[in-house]
Amino acid sequence: MGLFGKKKKEEPCCCGVSDLKEQTAQRDSGADGVKVLGSGCAKCGALEKAVQEAMAELGMDENIDHVTDFTQIAAYGVMTTPALVVDGKVVSYGKVLKKEEAKELLQKVRGDHV
C-alpha cells in the first residue's frame, strides 16, 4: 500500500538548502548588524537612505549591508522586498520605511544599546 514504505529522500528547497537548520545557520552566520534585503531597485535605495538617516540621528556608526542575492533573502523567509533586518531579525518587509519608522524599529530591537 505504500503507507509505511521507504522515506522519500529530502529534496532541497528553491534556495538549494535541504535542511531548515542549515537555512537558519546560514541566516544567523551574519546575524549582527543592519541589512537591507532587495534587488537594488529604487525602493531598496530609498529604504537604505531612510535607515542611514535614522542611524545617524541615533548615533549609530555602522555600515548597512545590502543583500541582493535572492537565495540569502529567501533564507530570511522574506518574499516581498525591500526588507529590513536588524541583528538577525526581520523587522519590516514589503514597504519603504520613513526615517522615523526606521528609527522606532531600531530603538525597539536594540533597546538599551542605542
- Kindly indicate the confidence band of residue 110, based on its pLDDT and cuts at 50, 70 and 90: confident
- Identify the architecture of domain 33-109 in CATH: 3-Layer(aba) Sandwich (3.40)
Lowest mean pLDDT segment, chosen from 8-12, 13-17, 78-82: 13-17
Residue 92 has pLDDT above 50, yes or no: yes
- Residue of 32 and 80 predicted with greater confidence: 80
Whether 47 contacts 38, CB under 8 Å:
yes
Strand partners, 83: 37, 93
> Residues 11-64: pLDDT tens digits?
545 444 444 444 444 444 455 799 999 998 999 999 999 999 999 999 988 899
d(CA 91, CA 84): 6
Long-range contacts of 2-9 (CB under 8 A, 24+ apart): none
Helix and strand numbers (H, E) in the chain are 4, 4
Domain residue extents for the chain: 33-109
